[in-house]
Amino acid sequence: MNNAPSVARLRRELKAASRPHRVAGLLGFFKTGPGEYGEGDVFIGVSVPEMRRIALLGRGLEPEAVLPLIHSKIHEERMLALMVWVLNYQNGGDTLKGRIFRLYLKERRWINNWDLVDVSAYHIVGAHLLDRPRGPLDRMVRSPHLWTRRIAVVSTYAFIRQGETRDIFRLSAALLGDTHDLMHKACGWMLREAGKRDPAALRKFLSARAARMPRTMLRYAIEKFSSAERKRWLAAPRS
């Protein structure tokens, strides 16, 4: 039997792991109805653990080889492609990492739901920019494309895990006026993570901007504070 990695094999494995009875729930959970952020997305009912198992079969695939999966109308195929890129990025040399990073940004319009962003952005974009200028993220948060903005924010998790919090404070300040709830949640999530490493820096950010923060962003950001402190921030006057 030929065990060489191939997109055809990955697709066969995904089909075998699909569970049609799960599809209806996924369609609702990922907001695929008319006018919703995941409108028209297609699911086949494969669990995340199963996709992670199948992604291991993609070790060594050339980054461009998974583009048919990235371009697929099937959500799980796009997710699988991203998992393969993450796996190969983490195990690749500098040249391969650069290729995957550039492809990721080039194809980001296909990374078009929050789970696709969250499983990949900090592993590829964030990891790649750890020792590089962060200017690309500042450009991305100004994009009209929701998922590009979310990629920028979630990518900062790679920095936060290394104790670097300044980028998420800067990007969150730039996004205070963003109108999408998924961006409020992403910023709040990363601010909360930054606050775990540097509570004083988070409190300083909140002191200057809490009055203008979307309520969801604020709630997420202060989630790890004591109940009494959360109440104080939530009770503060709003502008």
Per-residue pLDDT, 2 = 53
Token output for 41: 């997305």
What is the spatial distance between Cα 186 and Cα 149, in angstroms, rounded to a whole number?
10
* Alpha helices per DSSP H over 91-180: 94-106, 114-118, 121, 127-129, 135-140, 146-155, 157-160, 166-174
| Both structure tokens of 230 | 């959360």
Give the per-residue pLDDT at 192: 98
pLDDT of 59 reads 94
The token duo for 153 is: 């924010």
Domain with CATH 1.25.40.290 in the chain: 133-239
pLDDT tens-place string over residues 99-108? 999 999 999 9
Q: What is the pLDDT of residues 48-60, one digit of tens each?
A: 999 999 999 999 9
Mark 147-182 as b/e (b = at least 16 C-beta within 10 Å).
bbbbbbbbbbbbbbeeebbebbbbbbebbeebeeeb
- Mean pLDDT for the chain? 96
Exposed/middle/buried for residue 98 (C-beta within 10 Å: 0-12, 13-18, 19+):
middle
Angstrom distance (rounded) from CA 12 to CA 48? 16
pLDDT at 3: 59
What integer pLDDT is reported at residue 156 of this predicted model?
A: 98
**CATH code linked to domain 133-239:** 1.25.40.290
pLDDT tens digits, residue range 56-113? 999 999 999 999 999 999 999 999 999 999 999 999 999 999 999 999 999 999 999 9
**Sequence-separated (6 or more) residues with CB below 8 Å from residue 42:** 73, 74, 75
Is residue 1 pLDDT above 50, yes or no? no
Alpha-carbon gap, residue 136 to 113, rounded angstroms: 20
Q: What is the pLDDT of residues 130-187, one digit of tens each?
A: 999 999 999 999 999 999 999 999 999 999 999 999 999 999 999 999 999 999 999 9
What is the per-residue pLDDT for 4? 60
What pLDDT is stored for residue 112 in this prediction? 96
What pLDDT, in 10s, does the model give residues 185-219?
999 999 999 999 999 999 999 999 999 999 999 99
Is 203 buried (19+), middle (13-18) or exposed (0-12) by CB count in 10 A? middle
User: Whole-angstrom Cα distance, residue 86 to residue 29?
Assistant: 24
Identify the band that residue 238 occupies on the pLDDT scale cut at 50, 70 and 90: confident
Q: Are 14 and 80 in contact (CB under 8 A)?
A: yes
Q: Which residues contact 80 (CB under 8 A, 6 or more apart)?
A: 10, 14, 51, 54, 55, 58, 69
